[in-house]
Every structure is written in C-alpha cells, then in structure tokens.
Structure 1
C-alpha cells in the first residue's frame, strides 16, 4: 500500500534525499548565478557605487531571489506555482532602471527605483488572476512556438558569455575563451552520455567544475571578488534606500512588470509541458502572484523586479529532475549566498566562457522542448504553419538585431526589445485570426 502511495506522488512533488537535493539545487544556482548578479552589478557601476556597496547590492539580489524562488516552489496559500520554477532579478528591468537613475533627483536615486518596483509588484499581485486567463489562448501551436522562441532567444546570452560582453576588451573572442567554451560544451555532452544515475543528473555541475579548473592556468578565473566580499551580512529593509515615488518611474516599472508577467506565463507553460504537469489558469495566477509579491519584497530589501529564469527550465529539461523541492533547495542556497557574500564569491569563480559552453546545451534543451510541443500541433494545416513561421520571425528580430527598434518610443521598446514578448503576442494574435478564419471556412 505504501509503495502504491509513493508511486502515486507526481515527480514534481517528490522529495529527494538531502545530499542529492543539495547537489541538484547547487547545480540550479550555478546555472543562474551570472544572470542574478549581472543586473545589480551593472546598476551599481552606473551609479558609481563603491566595491563594498556593489557587493551589498548583489547580496540583496541573491537574498531576494532566494526568497522569491522559495515562494514559487513551495507556495503559500494561493501564491506560488508549486513547480520547479526559479525566480530572480529580470534583466529586462536594467535599461528602465538605468534611465530612472539617470534622471536628476535629490537624494538617493535607488529610492525612486525601489518605490517604482514596490508599486509595480503590488499591482502585478492584484492583476494575476485576470492575466492568468490568457492561458486559454495557448493551444499547442502557440505553446510550442513560444517555448521554442524562449530557447532561441537565450542563445545569444550563452554566446556572449563565451566571446565576452565587451567587444573592445583585449580578450574578446580570443581563442582561449572559445576553446574553453567548446571544451565545456563537449564535456557536458560526454558526461550526460556516459554517466549514470545520480552522477548523470549533476553532469552540468561536474562540467562547470572541470571547466573552471581547466580555465585556471589561462588566467580566466577571477578571484578578486574575495578581496571585496564580507564574510557575513544580513540584508535589512530600506538599507540601500527607502522607497520614494515618482509617477514616470512607476509607469516605466509597471510596463517592465507587464512584460515580466507575459514571459513568466510563457515560462510556466513551458515548464508545465516539460514536467508533465500542465500549467492551468490557477497555477499561472499563483505563479504571477509570487512574481508580484517577490518583486515587492525585493524592493524592501534592496533587490529589483523578480521574474522567471528560463535557463533553469532548460536545466530541468536536460537533467529530468522535476522535483520542486530541488528548486526550493536552490532558493535556500541563494538566501545563504545573500547572507554570506564570501560564499557567493566562490560561485562566481566559474568563468563566463565555461558557463556559456554549458548554457548552449541548456538553452537548446528549451528549444527542443518547444519543438516537441509543436509536434502535437497540426502543422499540416497551412494556417498553423503561418502562425509558427511569422511568430518565430517576429520574435527573433530583437535577438538577431538588438537595435532594430531603436527609433521606437521608449515605452514601446520595453516590450519590443523582448523577443519572447513580441513573439508571444504575435502567436496569440495570429492564432485568434487564423482560427476564426478556419472556423468560418469550415462553416461555409
């Protein structure tokens, strides 16, 4: 009887043994660490913060990302998708935040940012049940297109990690970086091919570790963070800025939050397909509430807008570890990294070329899941073919040419510069258009 009950538990709700759960959780943190620390690092540098202040800003982002991830994966009441869903600072908020802090204000410019994020988070929480009703407009042809687009849109991120973020840097696209990325890619593939059981599940983590050790002799491992990171620091409310309010800043962050909600909806649908627990309307509403609540709490502790991390969806697809408690363990690790910045400095040792080589597999896994979902659509129907073709083309515009919309109004660029958002909107509109036309043709 006990065996039958255990077998009835969905893989998403299974609790692995603590050692495995910790290893799987650490793997999730390694996959998303660079994405969490990049926004506060960029914002801190633009504000001219000292090294210690930047460290505190990064620590706050890690701490709040951990809280948001715990909220999403474990859930409280009707808050949290209760899926292996990782949350953290969305990179889509960086450009609007930089625009806000560039405006002349009296006092701490971060205070205006935190006020805007706080209001946007509360409004997102309240709007979640209405926004979640969009799920009825996501048949397989839309789901598959959006999931595929998520994977393809992330590919440039991995490639930039390999080549370098700054084209004027001396080592940009250097043979050492490219070889290191390629070696890591091959390592991850070979480890997934030949390792068995538990070791197969942490193949990515092993690949990152070996890649980091190989990078050390080439001087690509940066240890300077240890010189700046304090051993322990407890993030306190309003420590980095007491929220103050600006109408223009709030409107800007509300648009960012709207885009984040759209991407989170697409990510939850993608993750539901991967873990064989489809994200219904109530799941999406709960997940969006967690995005809003996580963002509001983040603003209090010095973080920024929180949203889904698509690279971790790729990790779930790659490792086939579907337990939400593994992601909860990752959330706990993120909280500890926020409390112990010196530990976060250890994770940051992984060079970006190594991370980029592994990321190509992760992001490709997301795209492959989208293609699998498209297999359930009727692509023999020319209308559905057009939906896929046009939506992918529109969604890839800002991916292939990031400056394509540079002459568009700033408010629109927040949406247009997100290939996931534009592709998702295109797929939704085209599906409505062609499904009605097909229904009319069949009726006549």
Structure 2
C-alpha cells in the first residue's frame, strides 16, 4: 500500500543502527562509550611500555598513541568505506590478546629494539589478516545460536574479572589493593547506576552509566582515591609522531607470534559482531563480518605508523549497547572522534582518566554482566532440551572458564599455544564450533529438527534476514547472505 503524503514508507525508514541523534545526545552517548572503553584502551600500553624499558613519560606517549589509533580504527569500523567496516556500533581498541606475546617479544630484545620489532610484527599480522578477512568471514555459517550464545556468554563472563580487578584498585600488590575503600566505592557506583536506571526515564536513563561514573568520581574526591597528578603533567597538544620509537624491524619469531594473535583477534571479533548484530537487530551476515574484519586488520596494520598495537572490536561496548538500547553507529563514530581528540590532547585524556578504577569497576559489573545476559537470552532459542546442544554448551563453557577459574592451568604448555589457551573466549569458541560440527553436521540425524543448533520451531536452514541498504559501494557485486546451518 502506498504511503500517504508526509508519511514515510517502510523502505524509507532508517534502521536504528543508521539513525542519528541530536548533537548533545550524540556527544554524551559517545562519551559514555569512551568512558566504558578508556581503561581497556590504555591498559595494554601501560603493561607493554615498562616491559620495553620505557620511562613514565614515554609510556604516557604510548597511551596517547593507543587512544589516537583506537579512534581511527573505530571510525573505520562504524563509518567504513568501500568493503571496509562492519558499519555497526563497535568501538575498536588495543586487543588484550597481544599483551602477553608482546611482553615476551620485549624480553627477547634489547630495549632499543623491542618496540620496533613489535611494530614490525604487528604490521605483517595486520596485512595478513586483511588478506584473510573474506575467507575467514565464511565461518559465519558455523555460528548458529548454540555457538553464538555460548560465545556471547563467555565474553561477558571473561570480562567480569576485569571489572572485579578494577573494583579492587586495578594494581595487584598495591598497598590499597582490595581495600574496603576501593570495594566500597565500586559497590556504591554499582548501586548508583542501578538506581539511576530504575528512577530515570528517556535519554537520562540511557546515559545512566555515564551519570553513575560522574557521580562516583565526585564522591571519590573527598574519599581520597581520585588522582589529579596527571592533569599537572599533561601537555595541551601531543601528536603521536610517526615511528617515534624507530623504524619497524622484522623478526620471524615475533611475526609468527603476532600472526597467531591476529587470528585470535579475528575469532573474537567475529563472535563480537554476531553478538552485537543480534542485540541491534541487524544480524551480521558474511559481508558484514568480512567488512568488520577488514576494518580490524587495516586498523592494526596502520597503528604501528602512529606507535599503536593490534586492534580488535571491544566486547565492553556490547553491554553498553544492550543496556542503553542506543543502537546508532554514528554515536560510536562520535566516540571514535573523541578518542582521536584524547590522543591529540593529553590534558583532555587526563580528565577522562580522573575516573578512579574502583568507580569504573562498579559500572563494569553491570556492563559486562549485560553481555553474559545477552548470551543466555540467545541460548534460549537454541533448543537446549533437544539433541546434543546442552552438551555442546556445557563443554564449551567449561573449557572457556579454565583461564578464569585456574589461570595457571596451562603453565606447562608451549608459550606459543598460550596465546590461544589463555583466552577463554577463543578456546570456548573453538570447542563450540568443533562440537557443533561433530554433533549437528557430520552424520546429523535428519529426524531431529533441533539438531542444527537452532530452536525447535526454526526451519532446517533459515537464512539471515535481508539487510537494509547501508550505502555500500559494493552492493552490486556482493553475494547473498550465506544460509546458516
């Protein structure tokens, strides 16, 4: 039926992912994403810098570079161009998967060569990942609800220890680590966020996390856990000079190590895109995942130019999108611009860093718990009462929890394998995929309508719903969405 004058037809309506908000709402919502991801972006350089023998000033420079490159990668992911970018509300930042290998590389090199060797390996890994992206994306058909629900749940559960660590102070071994003051501030922030979500309405309810962080930081000032020293030491402008630590150097062992990290990052990013696609009601098809992986890997290849590390999609922000219901990718693109400004303006970055880690930890419990809840919701559609799906989930979650419950479990394994084994998300994802193939694909019982990992009422081979037009230049030559198993 034709639309009446002044009324938008069904095809003219923008998907919430492609919608824009008023400027003030766009900025505050974007700032909320920055607040949720800031600690995750700067934490890896805070660890790698001292391992490479950097001074406090040089490490601060490395942190600014991480913010700057995270902003660029986020814009590539959210806005995109050509076949690059998932065009979903994803923040991209420094991947934690690369921290352990980079520290190992630093220990094997002299301080003068540590970062150049790391940067050379990251460049090669990014280029390799970019080439593999279209092939890696074909794995989407091996991610039915029984797999995606398991992985989403593991993402949330794996992130919760980060929030617990922040709640205790963030630095294990520090005099106040785990003090009643730190834990009390985290608990108070958690209560404030929950209370704001309960009593506020509309837009204010959507930015409850940001308001909770501001309130927690203000309360922390008289408590004495807000550190203002960074403001006095920070300069107004600080551009991350290209190859500040020297031209990249290429070591075969370091390259192999970082290429493995890149594959791990691509696995986690694929799971993250599938999770976010469900949350924003735009299922991530093969084309979306290929574009997202290209953005990840291109951002990774470009980051060393500005002294940055490997980038990947940040799972932290999935919980924020799920909680606030703000699905616009332009909100997250705004956060990318903010990250770039923070990277170019150390003073501005220092203002964000005023949020004490215990305060961030209290809010993080809600954020990361929301991710796990989304995973449980996805599993509800996987017909857990039929077939072998419950067994798949049990084994995958059990293996995925090993690095969390027993961090030293794999201590006697080869160091190269630890890149994968120490990531519960990666190991759980691999176990879920392999078991889904074994039970639901090879020799599948045709009489079992739920044997494919979907709900009992789902047809045997549902296809991904058609995607709304996102303004891609490659729409004409892109194959149709791959049917799910």
Residue in structure 1 matched with residue 420 of structure 2 by the alignment: 415
Q: How far does the alpha carbon of each residue in 1:36-94 deviate from its partner, in whole angstroms, 9 at most, with x for none?
A: 11111111122232232122111110000000000000011000000001100011111
Residue in structure 1 matched with residue 257 of structure 2 by the alignment: 252
Residue in structure 1 matched with residue 329 of structure 2 by the alignment: 324
Q: Does 1:114 align with 2:127?
A: no
* Ranges in structure 2 where 5+ consecutive residues have no aligned partner: 449-485
- Which whole-Å CA distance do the structure 1 matches of 2:387 and 2:356 have between them? 46
Aligned residue runs from structure 1 range 53-132, under 5 A: 53-105=58-110, 107-132=112-137
- Which whole-Å CA distance do the structure 2 matches of 1:437 and 1:287 have between them? 30
Instruction: Identify which of structures 1 and 2 has the higher relative contact order when contacts are C-alpha pairs closer than 8 Å and 6+ apart.
Output: 1
Question: Which of 5, 8, 18 is the matching residue for 1:4?
Answer: 8
Aligned-partner SS, 2:243: coil
Contact 2:53 2:111 in 1 (8 A): no
- Which whole-Å CA distance do the structure 1 matches of 2:412 and 2:7 have between them? 62
- RMSD over aligned Cα atoms: 1.5
Q: Does 1:20 align with 2:25?
A: yes
Q: Which moved more, 1:235-244 or 1:414-423?
A: 235-244
- Which whole-Å CA distance do the structure 1 matches of 2:246 and 2:332 have between them? 30
Contact 2:28 2:207 in 1 (8 A): yes
Residue in structure 2 matched with residue 223 of structure 1 by the alignment: 228
Q: Does 1:334 align with 2:331?
A: no
Residue in structure 2 matched with residue 190 of structure 1 by the alignment: 195
Residue in structure 2 matched with residue 241 of structure 1 by the alignment: 246
Pick closer, same or farther for the CA change 1:72–1:270 going to 2, 3 Å. Answer: same
Contact 1:52 1:229 in 2 (8 A): no
- Which whole-Å CA distance do the structure 1 matches of 2:227 and 2:7 have between them? 49
Contact 1:121 1:296 in 2 (8 A): yes
Q: How far does the alpha carbon of each residue in 1:104-126 deviate from its partner, in whole angstroms, 9 at most, with x for none?
A: 34843211111000010011001
Task: Give 1:417 deviation, angstroms.
Answer: 0.3
Aligned-partner SS, 1:108: helix
Contact 1:121 1:293 in 2 (8 A): yes
Contact 1:55 1:229 in 2 (8 A): no
* Ranges in structure 1 where 5+ consecutive residues have no aligned partner: none
- Which whole-Å CA distance do the structure 2 matches of 1:55 and 1:260 have between them? 25
Aligned residue runs from structure 1 range 196-345, under 5 A: 196-345=201-350
- Which whole-Å CA distance do the structure 2 matches of 1:68 and 1:323 have between them? 17
How does the TM-score come out when normalised to structure 1?
0.97
Task: Give 1:144 deviation, angstroms.
Answer: 0.7
Task: Give 1:308 deviation, angstroms.
Answer: 1.1
Aligned-partner SS, 1:58: helix
- Which whole-Å CA distance do the structure 2 matches of 1:404 and 1:51 have between them? 33
- Which whole-Å CA distance do the structure 2 matches of 1:437 and 1:49 have between them? 52
Task: Give 1:240 deviation, angstroms.
Answer: 2.8
- Which whole-Å CA distance do the structure 2 matches of 1:96 and 1:228 have between them? 31
Aligned-partner SS, 1:245: coil
Task: Give 1:325 deviation, angstroms.
Answer: 0.1
Q: Which moved more, 1:251-260 or 1:227-236?
A: 227-236
Residue in structure 2 matched with residue 48 of structure 1 by the alignment: 53
Q: Does 1:32 align with 2:37?
A: yes
**Which structure carries more helix by proportion?**
1
Question: Which of 136, 145, 154 is the matching residue for 1:149?
Answer: 154
Q: Which moved more, 1:354-363 or 1:166-175?
A: 166-175
Pick closer, same or farther for the CA change 1:2–1:83 going to 2, 3 Å. Answer: farther
- Which whole-Å CA distance do the structure 1 matches of 2:175 and 2:65 have between them? 32
Q: Which moved more, 1:160-169 or 1:422-431?
A: 160-169
Q: Does 1:137 align with 2:142?
A: yes
Aligned-partner SS, 1:4: coil
Task: Give 1:345 deviation, angstroms.
Answer: 0.3
Pick closer, same or farther for the CA change 1:106–1:385 going to 2, 3 Å. Answer: closer
Question: Which of 427, 431, 443 is the matching residue for 1:426?
Answer: 431
- Which whole-Å CA distance do the structure 2 matches of 1:236 and 1:170 have between them? 36
- Which whole-Å CA distance do the structure 1 matches of 2:346 and 2:108 have between them? 31
Task: Give 1:227 deviation, angstroms.
Answer: 2.8
Aligned residue runs from structure 1 range 363-402, under 5 A: 363-402=368-407
Pick closer, same or farther for the CA change 1:192–1:423 going to 2, 3 Å. Answer: same
Q: How far does the alpha carbon of each residue in 1:324-373 deviate from its partner, in whole angstroms, 9 at most, with x for none?
A: 00000000000000000110000000001100000010011111111111
Aligned-partner SS, 2:334: helix
Task: Give 1:236 deviation, angstroms.
Answer: 2.7
- Which whole-Å CA distance do the structure 1 matches of 2:210 and 2:171 have between them? 26
Aligned-partner SS, 1:98: helix
- Which whole-Å CA distance do the structure 2 matches of 1:104 and 1:168 have between them? 27
